[in-house]
Structure 1
Amino acid sequence: MVYVYVLASYFIGTIMTAYVVMKFMKGEDIRKLGSGNVGARNAGRLLGKKGFLLTAIGDVLKGILVVAGAKYLGFSLEHQILALIAVVVGHIWPITLKFKGGKGIATAAGGLVVVAYQPFLVFGGIFLLLLVILRSFTLAGMTAFLTVPFIYWFMDYSLYECTLVFIVIALLLVAHRDNLKEKLARKII
């Protein structure tokens, strides 16, 4: 049952909110516009605040619903995080859009809040501090996300749970690798 749920979580992740919102609002394929990314930032650039908010909310809800459903079904914390990994993978590499999806931040954040809100609150504080220091949403976010497995570790979660959370974060870093290279190059130069 757990593995069927994890597989279903992947397919929930493949429901690309930005793609649906763009089709509904403009009748166009978001992959052919702006940055070509199927995420909230590109939707916001192309559709304004309404497009950004609808996309962000839809993407966050994917993570929330998958983890909340796993909790409701009585799955262990490890299995809840596996479902989160699957929905994030589905968002980043959706079979429905030839494996070219979004970056996974909103979906991961929504799921991590439901997995355990206490570590997420610490992450939020670290993110805000880094945002003030680095003045870059991307660098602050990615750096703060790197701390999440350690936050779980210091809050006495098991090594297995911390490792699974690390996998979620590693997926986000892989999805953002080009953005990070560009941002770091600008900061260094």
Structure 2
Amino acid sequence: MIYFYVLISYFIGTIMTAYMVMRLMKGEDIRKRGSGNVGARNAGRLLGKKGFLVTAIGDVLKGMVVVAGAKYLDFSFEVQILSLIAVIVGHIWPITLKFKGGKGIATAAGGLVVLAYQPFLVFAGIFLLLLATLRSFTLAGMTAFVTVPFIYWFMDYSNRECILIFIVIALLLYAHRDNLKEKLVKKNK
């Protein structure tokens, strides 16, 4: 049952909101426009605030639904994190779009808030402080995400749970590696 649920979580992740919203609003393939990314940011650039908002909500809901489902089925906290990892992997590497998807931020955020709201509130506070300081959404977000495993560790979650949370964050960092390089190069010039 657990393996089946984790597999289903992956396939929920492959439901690409930006792709569907772009098809419905413009009849086009979002992968061939803008940055080519299948995420909320590219949808916002191409479709405006409405496109961004609908995409972001859809992507957040994927993470929320998967983790809430795992909680409802009374799966362990570790399995809840595994389902979150699976939905993020599905979003970043969807089999439905030849393994070229979004970057997973909204999906991860939705799942993390349902997983445990206390660590998420600490993360949100760190993000807002960093955003005010760095004035870069990408750098503030990624730096704040790096703190998440440590937040869990300081809040006395088990080592295995912290390692699984680290995997969540590592996936996001990997998906954003090009953006981070670009931002860091600009910052150092």
**Residue correspondence of structure 1 range 1-189 to structure 2 within 5 A:** 1-189=1-189
Partner SS for 2:149: helix
Normalised by the length of structure 1, the TM-score is 1.00
How much does 1:138 deviate? 0.1
Q: Hey, what's the Cα distance between the residues in 2 that align with 1:159 and 1:73?
A: 23
How much does 1:169 deviate? 0.2
Q: Hey, what's the Cα distance between the residues in 2 that align with 1:112 and 1:168?
A: 10
How much does 1:158 deviate? 0.2
Partner SS for 1:101: coil
Partner SS for 2:37: coil
Partner SS for 1:100: coil
Q: Percent identity?
A: 85
Q: Hey, what's the Cα distance between the residues in 2 that align with 1:67 and 1:81?
A: 7
Partner SS for 2:5: helix
How much does 1:101 deviate? 0.2
4+ runs deviating over 4 angstroms: none
How much does 1:186 deviate? 0.4
Q: Hey, what's the Cα distance between the residues in 1 that align with 2:129 and 2:50?
A: 28
Instruction: Specify every segment of 5 or more residues in structure 2 that has no aligned partner in the other structure, as ranges.
Output: none
Name the count of aligned residue pairs: 189
Q: Please tell me the root mean square deviation across aligned C-alpha atoms, in Å.
A: 0.3
How much does 1:97 deviate? 0.3
Q: Which amino acid aligns with 1:158?
A: S
Normalised by the length of structure 2, the TM-score is 1.00
